Amino acid sequence: MRKIFVLTGFFVVLAAAASGQNMSSPYSVYGVGEIQAQHPDRSSGMANTSVSLLSTPGFILNKNPASIIGLERSLAQIDLGIVGKIVSFKGNVINGDNSSTRDVTIKRISLSAKLNNHWASSIGLMPFSYVNYSFNAPKTVEGAPTTYTGLYEGNGGLKHIFWTNGFALGKNLALGVRSSFIFGSINQIETLAGGGLNSSVVTQLTDYYSGFRFEGGAIYGAKLSKDWRVSLGGKVTTKSDLTSNKTITVTEGGSVVEQDKQLSDGTFTLPWQYDAGISFVNKGRTTFTVDYSYGDWNKLNPGGGTWTMVNNERISAGVQFSKQVQRFGMVAEKSYLSAGLFSDKSYLQVKGQHIEGYGATIGYGGYLSRGLAYNLAVEAGRRGTLTNNLIRENYFQFTLSLSYREVLYSKGRKYD
């Protein structure tokens, strides 16, 4: 267990050091930024299609909180998810200086254990959203003929600490609940110059968000025949209000005009979210699975002059092929290969255009040793549109997930 705690501390420090690295996106200017709905784990190679799947020894699945009941009993497990992304932008306002971006970020840390035959638990940290953008635009003041040159930048984002508990009710039914505390700050910085100003005026608005959110999930599995098994999964995420506390700081030519002045408090509402999935498994070796997600964002929060929030949807499908071997008279997995496709509509509608995306994934994983497992996945996709002078993103993403397991103290129970 000492190794588990040492690794956990090391990963937390590593995540803190990497927290300032954020992928740029023009669409992160809206709402609370780019919401990170997908978990980097074994399902990354099949388009994160895992609502109806249980975790397997060494590989935790995070989309459905009921999934963790599939972990091995009396083993503690630490998981780390790292995501790298390369994005190229297309659009009328894109030039050689802002046509691409790249980043590598730690996206998930968790510590999990199946404490007995009927209960598994996990705690962890991962980003909830990120904000990182920069653009120039002229600004005019109503009633005055002066036009200023404006630079608009944003940074920050929200994180969430989660506690997941899964329960087995008999051999076929698993239930789970995830409790999350979401927190963080988002900075919006306006720098005005020209128009008769002797020096630049910098205005920074900072929104501090915090609130709780809860997810409940279930997975039911049954045999269809000797070789085939079917599983049904579902998850409901509650509607939640994030409290917003806003401050403003204004400087002119290096002199502070206002310092962290408190503005009115507010809220940002996260919607009811629904996920459903079905999977078919043949002889434990070949898995076919489909997921559908829906979020009720429509008119939930006030938008802006050119944008509003609309309902989001995502549909994905995946396939996985598992290579199995005989060990100590039992069937064990040695490695696996997976692939998937997805299409989604985000919660943003900008200039009358629903921001949509689609892509494909492929993944491979296995065991480096009896205690260390890995998953590698790549994803290629497209997001956004060129209509109405908007921006399209073409991206390539890789995911590396690592998990390390160690035996818990267990009242004399022995493991080979």
Q: Are strands 147-169 and 372-384 parallel, antiparallel or unpaired?
A: unpaired
**Minimal CA–CA distance to 112: which of 68, 151, 152, 150?**
68
CB-based contact 271:294 (threshold 8 Å): no
| 370 contacts: CB under 8 Å, gap ≥ 6 | none
Which contacts (CB < 8 Å, 24+ apart) does range 56-63 have? 56/333, 57/333, 57/405, 58/367, 58/373, 58/403, 58/405, 59/365, 59/373, 59/375, 59/401, 59/403, 60/110, 60/112, 60/122, 60/403, 62/108, 62/110, 62/164, 63/38, 63/39, 63/235, 63/275, 63/291
- Give the pTM: 0.88
Q: Over its length of 416 residues, how does the chain's per-residue pLDDT go in tens digits?
A: 555 555 555 455 455 545 444 557 888 888 899 998 888 999 999 999 999 999 988 899 999 999 999 998 888 999 999 999 999 988 887 776 667 888 888 899 999 999 899 999 999 999 999 998 888 888 776 666 677 788 889 999 999 999 999 999 988 999 999 999 999 999 999 898 877 777 888 999 999 999 999 999 999 999 999 999 999 999 999 999 999 999 999 998 878 888 888 988 899 999 999 999 999 999 989 999 999 999 999 988 888 888 999 999 999 999 999 987 766 556 678 899 999 999 999 999 999 999 999 999 999 999 988 789 999 999 999 999 999 989 999 999 999 999 998 887 555 444 44
Name beta bridge partners: 402: 80, 374
Integer Cα distance of 242 and 228 in angstroms: 44
| DSSP string over 347-373 | EEEETTEEEEEEEEEEEEEEESSSSEE
CATH class of 2-407: mainly beta
